[in-house]
Amino acid sequence: MIKEKRIKKIQEYVLEHQSASLDELVKVFDVSKNTIRRDVQELVDRGELKKVYGGVSSIHKKLESFQDRSVRNQEQKELIAKKAASFVEDGDFIFIDSGTTTIEMFEYIKEKHLTIFTNNIDLIVCAIPYENLNVISIGGMLERKTSSFVNPRNMDLLKDYNIRKAFMASTGISLLNGVTNASPLESELKKTIVSRSSEVYLLVDHDKFDKYGLMTYCSLDEIDYLVTDKIPNEMYQEYAKNHAIQLVLAD
């Protein structure tokens, strides 16, 4: 097994089991303890794992309540949402994800004539007075922590829609783990939306870089536009250049 693939597998193993001892990893991956130490140290240096006595543990972000997340970096979220909304044109068929940044888009698109597909409950409520907004929701079960509907049994509904632009949220992104989400109930919907959309816009503030949630719903190279409030480090810039991702800075 090549090094990078093994490191990825080690991270996935620790994430699944929450923690692992070095001896356990040696047995699972059938390599020397020195090799495991080097691989683990690389993951620790990247900020993907943390050291604990005798081994390592995961540091994925737990999902906080919608209210707690909505007050963090509020000014940056508004700027990102405003910039993202500038890509929305009259007549567009768009998807707006659940999230504390994506909901801020509403103020900047509410006067346009749009068809909006969403699972974002707050956006659905906001749109009620605006007859120019045609809103479609998948419905389903209430996910209170994200203020959204989830319906894992009704993904076939999405196969009939060709979404022009999808505006996605994320718990955290990294080069190794891609675009992640802390709610397992939402992940299948997000995966499907990305695959059905002509253009995918990811809205994340600077605090989301080099972080990751429980589940990856798409790789970074599936994103067309990365809208954020600060230019990311050179590794992300190089990745974006190599994968035709347009970095968009909110100002």
Residue 226, pLDDT > 90, answer: yes
- Tens digit of each residue's pLDDT (9 = 90 or more) over 116-143: 999 899 999 999 999 999 999 877 777 7
**Confidence band for 243, pLDDT divided at 50, 70 and 90:** very high
Task: Report the percent of the chain where pLDDT is more than 70.
Answer: 90
**β-bridge pairing 215-218 and 178-181:** antiparallel
199 bridge partner residues: 165
Two tokens, residue 243: 């994968």
d(CA 228, CA 103): 15
- Tens digit of each residue's pLDDT (9 = 90 or more) over 149-193: 776 566 666 777 889 999 999 988 988 889 998 877 788 889 989
CB 199 within 8 Å of CB 174: no
CB 147 within 8 Å of CB 77: no
pTM of the model: 0.72
Q: Which residue has the higher pLDDT, 23 or 167?
A: 167
CB 10 within 8 Å of CB 43: yes
Other CB atoms closer than 10 Å to residue 142's CB: what's the count? Answer: 11
Two tokens, residue 226: 């990365």
